[in-house]
Chains A and B, each alone.
Chain A
């Protein structure tokens, strides 16, 4: 039995038993954040808060949703939307957050790419972040199945068909994933399970890992400057806040985060209350029908760029291209051969590479939304898809040539 002295306060009582003061120091008051950052550094906490909103709204949707092909559509579109008090609120929060969270994820990713926050000790931050991106994508896809409208059904059909592997014709695998010859009841209930349990568990675990990978290398700053954290921390703790290059995560950095979050939530709830339609595809308000394909099947906007990489090629080549596009961002820390951790604007050719990549993803996104019939747009899509791969091939070469700063 360890020796416990009588505690004089609740805090001391908790500290004796749980080490709460140490936890608080490590994770908050002595977790140092550089001062030289901007609002883009708030995206992480915005994502955490948005995930929180998805979780809360999801819990309330879960109380009335019925994962059954005969009941699902009405449980969402009639019971939750018309009968449940404020059911529409949870649905619109959930739908808008699921869409907006990808916008913030992309901003977060491109911020990391711009400032070189994925190398020299920060590789695991990038890799765990990419795992989060993939898990979020799976979470978004499985959630999109649940209202069991036309887009749910046909997106489910098309995406599960990808697993046939083109000429491999692995239809057994596709049927195994679906539990049926076509998306049906077994398919809906298992994607329901994935959406409400397995994938959220994985996401929560990965968020903890993502935060963990950040703790030792610390967040990057606007100039990629290497900071002597011990020296800066001593200066801050001695009361010289002005000359220290760092601030504690909580309460100082967090209060700045919360300001940015405030601006974000004004926009977010504007969308939820006045402009939620963008997250609610009208085609998905028709119940699923396995004998009628919608005129034009397209994914939600955040998958359009990779969908457009699938489209312009023949089936097998398209699948290979699509597969590579899904995972190539994982390789970023290893394909960037330059030792420089600096904003792209100071990195010569990489600066051009960054903006070309961002532009290319935008072009792919816009082309992916258009019907496949127009030859001009199909060709633009093809060029953009080829540019995507050319940029990745060029990356190790141009970063190898980069001058050390």
Chain B
């Protein structure tokens, strides 16, 4: 008798657990970013008219993108994006500490984050304060005088393999 009751208990509990887990999965999926959000992923930036040492801020996936044409006297870096004969610093303009937007100081050639005082040099390397890592480089592909964001081209893959960005 008791074993039959146990069986009913286990059966009920088992089905409830399966249903509960399925419901949790549905809830998790409902919180996922929508396909339309994920698909709106590509931005093309024309850099042919960029001025040296003037920061352009573009938008990609809702995030600010820093595009900075380097002057000849600014230090070259492995993280530079080369378009034709020019070197560009391209990065996601969010401080790697907690995601504020650093401001560019053209005279000092550095980025300064107002939230917690973090600083980055003109190649995006962290040089002061709490940021734990350099500014991130978004997936990019160089196409003539344009940079396509959201697509991983050969130059980006090289940086990724060299561990220069995440």
Contact = CB atoms under 8 A, between A and B. Distances in A.
Contacts of B116: 311, 372
A176 B63 contact: no
Interface string B82-107: 00000000000000111111000000
Interface centre among A291, A293, A296 (most CB of B within 10 A): A293
Interface stretch (A77-85, A138-146, A153-161, A210-218): A153-161
Interface string B28-43: 1001111001000000
Nearest to A171: B166
A179 to B, nearest CB: 5
B97 A154 contact: no
B110 interface: no
Interface string B48-83: 000000000101011110000000000000000000
Interface of A is mostly: loop
Contacts of A166: 132
Contacts of B101: 291-293
A293 B115 contact: yes
Contacts of B31: 176-177, 179, 190
A186 B37 contact: yes
A157 B32 contact: no
Interface string B11-29: 0000000000000000010
Nearest to B101: A293
Given A179-B33, A181-B63, A372 B132 contact: no
Interface stretch (A60-68, A231-239, A247-255, A313-321): A313-321
B8 interface: no
Contacts, number: 82
Interface in A147-205: 154, 157-158, 161-162, 166-167, 169, 175-182, 184, 186, 190
A373 B117 contact: yes
Given A179-B31, A293-B100, A314 B132 contact: yes
A282 interface: no
A290 interface: yes
A404 to B, nearest CB: 46
B102 to A, nearest CB: 8
Contacts of B99: 157-158, 161
Contact of B37 (A184, A313, A371): A184
B131 A184 contact: no
A297 interface: yes
B130 A293 contact: no
A180 B33 contact: yes
Nearest to A295: B114
B117 A372 contact: yes
A248 to B, nearest CB: 44
B111 to A, nearest CB: 12
Contacts of B32: 176, 179
A154 B100 contact: yes
Given A176-B32, A179-B32, A179-B37, A315 B132 contact: yes
Nearest to B58: A291
Interface in A355-388: 371-373, 378
Contacts of A184: 37, 62
Contacts of A179: 31-34, 37
A103 B139 CA distance: 47
Interface in B108-131: 114-117, 129-131
Contacts of B61: 181-182
Given A179-B32, A179-B37, A290 B62 contact: yes
B100 A297 contact: yes
A189 to B, nearest CB: 11
Nearest to A374: B117
A315 B37 contact: no
B105 to A, nearest CB: 14
A125 B99 CA distance: 38
Interface of B: 28, 31-34, 37, 57, 59, 61-64, 96-101, 114-117, 129-132, 166
Given A176-B28, A291-B64, 13 more contacts: A161-B98, A166-B132, A176-B32, A178-B33, A179-B31, A182-B61, A293-B115, A294-B114, A313-B130, A314-B132, A315-B96, A371-B114, A372-B117
Q: Closest 10 interchain pairs by CB? A: A182-B62, A293-B101, A372-B117, A315-B132, A181-B61, A161-B99, A293-B100, A158-B98, A291-B64, A297-B115
